[in-house]
Amino acid sequence: MKSLFNMSLLTKIIFIIAFFSLSSAYSQSKFGFTAGYVNGFAKAVSFGDKATDSESGFYAGVILDNTASEAVHVVAELTYMNINDISFLQLPLLAKIYISNSPFNIQGGLQLTYTLEEVFDDFTKFNIGIGGGFGYDIGEHFFAETRYIFQLNDYFTGPDEILESKINFFNIGLGYKF
């Protein structure tokens, strides 16, 4: 699994472009913008000792909402996120399932996060997470959503017994679809 996290930046960009192209080619798509509050929950474990921290920030970006059926949408976002002067790029890839023809939906899927700042040796800039959340369509164009993402990989790439380092993210925001 570590080979996925060591992919070159160019390979990751090609993967992202291919996903956006394929997902919009086979469905009805809406483009839009999203922005909101984000909280990062950092956890480090070293030789059995645990340390945690929580910092807040913001995110803003673009979305591509693909209608697969009346009840199922596939959503891809590309957002810039800043927490305590540390910048990230997020790429959530989510399934959105509407509940009984209502404006409420349940979301779930993967989120790729890339740290834009320099990192120490034996650390990776790449985070892959899985999570879910809820959304509400406010009319035809506006929406509100919240989600929680659990990091699957470890930021520390050195010997496993020395350190485990992860960041989980909580997002809550608003958006507009054209």
- Residue 25 pairs in a beta bridge with none
Say how many C-beta atoms besides its own lie within 10 A of residue 114's C-beta.
16
Q: Would you place residue 29 in the very low, low, confident or very high pLDDT band (cuts 50, 70, 90)?
A: confident
Nearest CA to 106 out of 146, 142, 66, 68 is that of 146
| CA gap 139, 174 in Å, rounded | 13
What is the structure's pLDDT at 25?
A: 55
Q: How many domains does the structure of the chain reveal?
A: 1
Domain holding 68, by residue range, is 2-177
pTM here is 0.83
More confident: 124 or 21: 124
Round to the nearest angstrom and report the end-to-end CA distance of the chain. Answer: 38
- 37-73 confidence digits (pLDDT tens): 999 999 999 988 999 999 999 999 999 999 988 999 9
CATH number of the domain to which 171 belongs = 2.40.160
| CA gap 109, 131 in Å, rounded | 6
